[in-house]
């Protein structure tokens, strides 16, 4: 099972969208405080639709609390940042790795990135765009990690229902 880690997320709508993506991919969501919203906020639930109650989510008091409660994350955590030298699609992700994303206004603190430089990844962007939306970034990196493992246990085939139109 994959893990998405949000470090101090600020916008409930982004976190709600990410929660819905986590449910759709059977991914755990880890939220590291402080949060810029309350977990019972309407905007969070609206973005997560009726999936929020199906979400495997854990909240941590700070980054150290997260590390202490997830010792298996060490060495298997990838940090999404615009400051990385590696592109997210060039990384080889473990099936149960941790994908960390920072808060919308500032990203992941530089001291964390420096300590983990070999596991920092970036999403390529054109021009002087500062960054992508957080929920979009999570989707891009998470789906690449899942793709590398053949979308294990995920529904790969849809079904079209043939429609019959009557001539008027």
Binding region: 102, 123, 131
Distance, CA of 119 to CA of 92 (rounded, Å)? 10
* Cα 87–chain centre separation: 16
In a 10 Å sphere around its CB, with 0-12 CB exposed, 13-18 middle and 19+ buried, how is residue 160 labelled? exposed
Residue 75: Cβ-neighbour burial (10 angstroms; 0-12, 13-18, 19+): exposed
Annotated binding site for S-adenosyl-L-methionine: 102, 123, 131
CB atoms within 10 A of CB 144: 18
The structure tokens listed for 49 are 């639709």
């Amino acid at each position: 099972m994959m893990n998405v880690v949000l470090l101090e997320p600020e916008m409930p709508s982004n976190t709600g969208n990410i929660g819905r993506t986590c449910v759709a991919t059977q991914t755990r969501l880890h939220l590291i405080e402080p949060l810029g919203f309350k977990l019972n906020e309407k905007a969070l639930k609206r973005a997560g639709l009726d999936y929020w109650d199906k979400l495997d989510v854990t909240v941590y008091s700070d980054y150290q609390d997260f590390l202490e409660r997830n010792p298996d994350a060490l060495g298997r955590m990838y940090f999404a940042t615009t400051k990385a030298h590696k592109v997210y699609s060039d990384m080889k992700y473990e099936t149960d790795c941790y994908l960390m994303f920072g808060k919308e206004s500032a990203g992941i603190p530089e001291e964390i990135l420096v300590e983990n430089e070999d596991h920092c990844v970036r999403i390529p962007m054109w021009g002087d765009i500062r960054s992508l939306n957080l929920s979009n970034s999570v989707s891009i990196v998470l789906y690449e990690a899942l793709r590398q493992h053949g979308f294990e246990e995920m529904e790969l085939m849809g079904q079209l229902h043939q429609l019959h139109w009557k001539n008027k």
